[in-house]
A and B are shown apart, each in its own frame.
Chain A
Amino acid sequence: MYLEVRGEKTYAATGGRDFDKSLPTVMFVHGSGLDHRSWALQTRWFAYNGYSVLAPDLPGHSLSGGEALNSIEEMGAWLADFIDASGADKVHAVGHSQGFLDVLELALRAPQKLKSITGIGTAGAIPVNPALIEAAQKSAGAAAEMLLMWGFGPDAQYGISAVPGMQPIAIGREIMARNPLHADLVACAEYKNGSAAAKAIEVPSQMILARKDRLTPLKAGLAFAEELGARVTIIERYGHMLPIEAPRQTLQKLRELIGSLENTD
């Protein structure tokens, strides 16, 4: 669906069903350069099983208008405005990679809007190699190629896809190449509020981490989970792009936490 946030036309996937603010809402926040399609294999399940879903494209990304935001702090503030614009009261916030940093910042600014938080393939800070940032400034497509070659785990590199016939890395590249990857990477590199957010967050939290994650190494994710007091799941064999590489396992863990809080699973 499209809604207006800060005067800009903003797209949010709703999992194939109309958004109903009376239902428990799960909000999915995508990673650097990506969009709502990262969540295709999680959002439809929630939408068809008693929840409402919001998976926005951040400003300047894919189907959303506006300019890209330049910091995680701005993205967190934007998410608060986005939730208000949707009419949702509280959400279970799920963030992948940079999307989780956005959720942390949302938690610092508007904790009353959250029921739970989940970080997937992420940590409390995401340092970015300056060479990658420089590459993204010159060409989002070239940087996307570098990022995805590192981001996807071994099975995806061997062309394994959860959806028959698809090539997830090529799909990701097409999405990233058109989006403001450079701005997102700079925002990630500069974000320092993770520990402050961890101290402030009081809602239930979980981290779903990947054994083969080379972008946000497992060690960093585990360290932040400890700071946060989050429940932790480590998914073997897969890389940073868990929602796409290991969609069933990712969905299962989301169902377990969110379902337990809503007494639906």
Chain B
Amino acid sequence: MSRSSYLKPDTVALHTGYVPEGEYGSRAVPVYQTTSYVFESVSEGSSLFNVEQGGHIYSRISNPTVAVLEQRIAALEGGSGAICTASGMSALFMTFITLCSAGDHIVSATQIYGSTATLLKHTIKRLGIDCSFVPVNDKQALRDAIRDNTKMVFCESIGNPGLEISDIPGISAIAHEFGIPLVVDATFATPCLCRPIDHGADVVVHSVTKWMGGHGVAIGGVVVDGGRFDWQQSGRFPELTEPYAPFHGIRFWEEFGPSALVMKMRAESMRDLGASMSPQNAFLILQGIETLSLRMKQHVSNAKALLGWLQQQDAVTWTNYPELESNTSHRLAATLFPHGAGSMLCFGVTGGRKGGAAFIDALELSSNLANVGDARTLVLHPASTTHSRLTVEDMQAAGISPDMIRVSVGIEDIDDIRADFARGFKAAQRVAGAA
């Protein structure tokens, strides 16, 4: 059951956040393609600006179509509220910048998406925010890395692209011991497979561009406030507990409690950074979420079937999927992902880097591109694309090898995916044979 209503998750995905409204009773969520909203009076405008009442002022801050998506995702994740953003990266940046100021510190898992690693290691460092990286699930390293100025612990529920499962209960227990929130990027999982808040996470971030949208047509991100973290008791977050000058000295924790974080993000980050999601993109992602549960079942089923077949192929030198015993976190996968640990898998192909390139270039059905979570099967060579900006050492630490092929398994007929990959393996074997 959702923590937001008596409706079950599959029903939430179709209905939450919207009931047919207005003169026309539109069954689908209308696209409010507008920048701004007419105030009934000067007094009403004033009260909206002063948070005396809820409502929409300007679509950089909030928009009715986007709000439906926010409320739906918050319900699916079991959070107290959510904010949608222009992209997954802007969701991460807004989270970091809301929780941290110059002089603060973050502890992050090493095994994360390359652009997130760059953001943490280089971009926010220019703003005076430092980040230490520790191997995911290394509890002692995490304890050792936490400092007096640490403001958050960060990990991905399924690491990209190494597919390590984060021990969310264990990591959150340590973070909470120090009065620090755990922020989890759950893009690879979706709430259909794992709800991090249920396991102790405090904030969940997604690139909804991926499985949530599911059709490769819209970029977007979301931040979900779990609503359970006590910002006052922590003592580390004066930004949330002390007066905030731009809003008449409002104290977000006192006024809003379990929704203090998202209220602060909307009041500050949406206003100042302006990384808002467009209503059209919100509409497209809502269409995807309606069938998320059905798609995830098929994604997972296909991933497991393809994995089993890959393991029998001579051209495949190794495979990785969170549930494989060779994956160090496979026990966590069984506990935290009872319905399957996603639809990403990786493998090595004979012929090394050249073999990998030949494999990808020979594919016809599968698409070679820098995205995951499309309904269609996608393949990529991380070492030369998404993680190419990392040093060799950083790449190794992130679990990436030169021969790695990353697959986002789609929902096509599994026979057709296998046939396509068989074509790729023949090409790789020709390269390997020639060498």
Contact = CB atoms under 8 A, between A and B. Distances in A.
Contacts of A158: 5, 7, 15-19
B257 A174 contact: yes
A199 B78 CA distance: 46
A63 B255 CA distance: 11
A156 B250 CA distance: 26
A187 interface: no
B227 A159 contact: no
Nearest first, the 10 A-B pairs at minimum CB distance are: A159-B16, A163-B54, A165-B70, A164-B67, A174-B258, A164-B62, A162-B54, A44-B52, A167-B4, A157-B5
Interface in B42-91: 47, 50-56, 62-64, 66-67, 70-72, 74-75, 78-84
B361 interface: no
Given A170-B78, A247-B53, A159 B256 contact: no
A170 B3 CA distance: 5
- Point out which of B5, B7, B62, B66 has the most chain A C-beta atoms below 10 A from its C-beta: B5
- Point out which of A17, A62, A165 has the most chain B C-beta atoms below 10 A from its C-beta: A165
Interface in B345-404: none
Given A16-B250, A170-B79, 19 more contacts: A16-B50, A16-B255, A17-B248, A40-B255, A44-B47, A157-B6, A161-B54, A161-B67, A162-B54, A163-B54, A164-B63, A164-B67, A164-B71, A165-B83, A167-B4, A167-B71, A167-B80, A170-B4, A174-B228
Contacts of B256: 37, 40
B16 A171 contact: no
Contacts of A23: none
A12 to B, nearest CB: 10
B80 A171 contact: yes
- Point out which of A13, A45, A174 has the most chain B C-beta atoms below 10 A from its C-beta: A174
Interface in B243-277: 248-250, 254-259, 262, 266
Contacts of B153: none
B12 interface: yes
Contact of B262 (A149, A160, A166, A248): A166
Given A40-B255, A156-B5, A167 B81 contact: yes
B53 A45 contact: yes
Interface in A146-179: 149, 152, 154-167, 169-171, 173-175
A41 B259 CA distance: 14
A102 interface: no
Given A167-B71, A174-B228, A37 B80 contact: no
Given A13-B255, A35-B257, A44-B51, A157 B82 contact: no
A69 interface: no
A201 B122 CA distance: 67
Contacts of B74: 159, 165-167, 170
Given A41-B52, A44-B52, A174-B258, A159 B4 contact: yes
B31 to A, nearest CB: 16
User: Which size bracket describes the interface of B in this complex?
Assistant: 35 or more
Given A45-B53, A159-B4, A159-B72, A171 B257 contact: yes
A251 B12 CA distance: 30
9 contacts: A16-B51, A16-B248, A154-B19, A160-B17, A162-B54, A165-B74, A165-B84, A167-B74, A170-B79
Contacts of A167: 3-4, 71, 74-75, 79-81
A212 to B, nearest CB: 13
Contacts of B228: 174
Contacts of B232: 63
Nearest to A150: B6
A44 B250 CA distance: 11
A41 B54 CA distance: 7
Contacts of A11: 254
